C-alpha cells in the first residue's frame, strides 16, 4: 500500500541566523514527513534546531536575522516557504496551530480564559463562513474546556489565566489549539514546564483528543520519557539535521545511529539505578562551527577516517532511516 499523501513535508530545509558573531546554521537540510493522523516526535538536545524547525513550519521565523537558504516546506500540497507574508497569514489558522512551552505566558493576562478560547473559535467559524452567535461560540468554548478535562468548565470559562495552575493553563492552550480544527498541531515542549504527574495526564489527553479531531502532531521535546509515551514515529535531530527516523518502537528497540544509541544509554532506567548516569562525551557543537563530515564524529565512539570528511546521507535500513556510514 503506498503511503498516504503527507500532511507536512519538509525537504532539505536550510535556515541560518546571520548575527554579528557569525552565521548560525540552525537547520542544515532537514527532511521530514508527517502523515495524516500521526504523532511525530522530534527529539534532540538543546540547540539542535527543534524549535527553529517549528517556527519555520509555522512561518514565525524572525526574518532577519533568520534566512531560509534553500529547501521547501509543503503543507497539504502547498509550498509555504515561497509564500509572501500575507499568504502565510492566510495559511495560519487554516490548518496549523501551536501549543507553546510556557503556559504562563501563552495566554493574555487581561482577558478571561473564555474570551480567549471563544476568540479562537470565532476566527475559525468566520473562516468557515459558518453562521454562529456569540452564545453558540461560547458554548463550544465551554465544551472544549470540558473535553480537555478542566473541572467546572463553566467556572473556569470566566476566570483569568493567573487563577489557573500551569497544568490547567496548558489544557486551555490545547483546547484553543484543537478548537481551530487544525490538520497539524505543533507542540513545542508542551509538558516541559509541568510536573511529571501532570505531564502524564496532558500526554494522555493530547493523544485522545488528537485522535478524535484527526489531527497530525509535530511533538517537540528533549525528554525521551515523554516521547515514548506519545509518538507514533520519532525523528532524532542533531545540529540542525535529522540523523535518524523511524517508528517509536524501532527507535527505542534497535536504535541505529550512534547518537540515538548514546541518547538512549544516557536515559536513566530501572536497572541502572546504582550506576553513575552515562553521558555523551563533549558538547553539542557551536552552530557557527559545525564539524566537517558527520557532525557527530567528534563525540562518536565508532568514528572512522571517512566520518571526518564526508557527510553521510539518509539511508533506508530495515524499515527506518538513518544517516551514518556504519550502515
Write out the residues near another protein by the rule CB under 8 A: 58, 60, 89-90, 92-94, 96-98, 100, 102, 105-111, 116, 119-120, 123, 127, 158, 160, 162-163, 173, 176, 180
Closer residue to another protein, CB minimum distance, 48 or 172: 172
How far is residue 145's CA from residue 52's CA, in Å, rounded to a whole number? 30
How far is residue 46's CA from residue 59's CA, in Å, rounded to a whole number? 21
Closer residue to another protein, CB minimum distance, 178 or 322: 178
Closer residue to another protein, CB minimum distance, 111 or 327: 111
Closer residue to another protein, CB minimum distance, 92 or 207: 92
Q: How far is the CB of 124 from another protein (least distance, A)?
A: 8
What is the dihedral angle through the alpha carbons of 174, 83, 36, 180, rounded to the nearest 10 degrees? 30
Closer residue to another protein, CB minimum distance, 169 or 320: 169
Q: What is the CA radius of gyration of the chain?
A: 21
Query: Who's near 221: CB < 8 A, 6+ residues apart?
Result: 41, 42, 43, 189, 191, 192, 227
Report the number of secondary-structure helices (H) and strands (E) in the chain: 10, 12
The C-alpha cell at 89 is: 497569514
Distances (CA, A) of 103 to 10, 16, 99, 224, 230: 28, 28, 9, 21, 20
How far is residue 170's CA from residue 148's CA, in Å, rounded to a whole number? 10
Pairing of strands 184-188, 22-34: unpaired
3 state SS of 257: coil
Q: Which residue has the cell 562525551?
A: 281
Query: Who's near 26: CB < 8 A, 6+ residues apart?
Result: 15, 16, 17, 49, 52, 66, 240, 287
Closer residue to another protein, CB minimum distance, 78 or 283: 78
Amino acid at each position: 500500500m503506498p503511503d498516504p499523501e503527507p500532511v507536512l513535508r519538509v525537504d532539505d530545509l536550510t535556515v541560518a541566523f546571520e548575527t554579528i558573531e557569525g552565521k548560525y546554521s540552525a537547520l542544515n537540510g532537514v527532511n521530514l514527513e508527517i502523515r495524516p493522523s500521526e504523532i511525530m516526535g522530534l527529539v534532540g538536545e538543546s540547540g539542535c534546531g527543534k524549535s527553529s524547525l517549528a517556527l519555520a513550519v509555522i512561518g514565525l521565523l524572525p526574518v532577519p536575522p533568520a534566512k531560509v537558504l534553500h529547501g521547501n516546506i509543503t503543507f497539504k500540497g502547498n509550498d509555504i516557504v515561497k509564500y509572501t507574508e500575507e499568504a502565510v497569514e492566510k495559511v495560519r489558522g487554516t490548518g496549523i496551530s501551536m501549543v507553546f512551552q510556557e503556559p504562563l505566558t501563552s495566554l493574555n493576562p487581561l482577558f478571561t480564559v473564555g474570551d480567549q478560547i471563544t476568540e479562537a473559535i470565532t476566527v475559525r467559524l468566520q473562516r468557515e463562513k459558518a453562521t454562529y452567535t456569540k452564545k453558540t461560540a461560547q458554548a463550544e468554548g465551554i465544551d472544549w474546556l470540558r473535553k480537555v478535562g478542566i473541572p467546572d468548565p463553566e467556572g473556569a470559562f470566566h476566570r483569568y489565566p493567573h487563577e489557573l495552575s500551569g497544568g490547567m493553563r496548558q489544557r486551555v492552550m490545547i483546547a484553543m489549539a484543537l478548537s481551530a480544527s487544525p490538520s497539524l498541531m505543533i507542540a513545542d515542549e508542551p509538558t516541559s514546564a509541568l510536573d511529571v504527574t501532570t505531564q502524564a495526564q496532558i500526554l494522555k489527553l493530547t493523544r485522545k483528543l488528537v485522535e478524535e479531531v484527526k489531527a497530525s502532531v509535530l511533538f517537540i521535546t528533549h525528554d525521551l520519557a515523554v516521547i515514548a509515551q506519545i509518538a507514533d514515529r520519532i525523528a532524532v535531530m542533531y545540529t540542525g539535521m535529522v540523523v535518524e527516523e523511524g517508528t517509536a518502537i524501532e527507535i527505542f528497540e534497535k536504535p541505529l545511529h550512534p547518537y540515538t544509541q548514546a541518547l538512549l544509554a544516557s536515559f536513566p532506567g530501572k536497572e541502572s539505578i546504582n550506576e553513575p548516569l552515562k553521558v555523551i562525551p563533549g558538547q553539542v557543537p557551536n552552530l557557527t562551527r559545525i564539524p566537517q563530515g558527520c557532525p557527530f564524529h567528534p563525540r562518536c565512539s565508532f568514528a572512522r577516517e571517512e566520518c571526518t570528511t564526508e557527510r553521510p546521507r539518509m539511508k533506508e535500513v530495515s524499515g527506518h532511516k538513518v544517516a551514518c556510514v556504519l550502515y
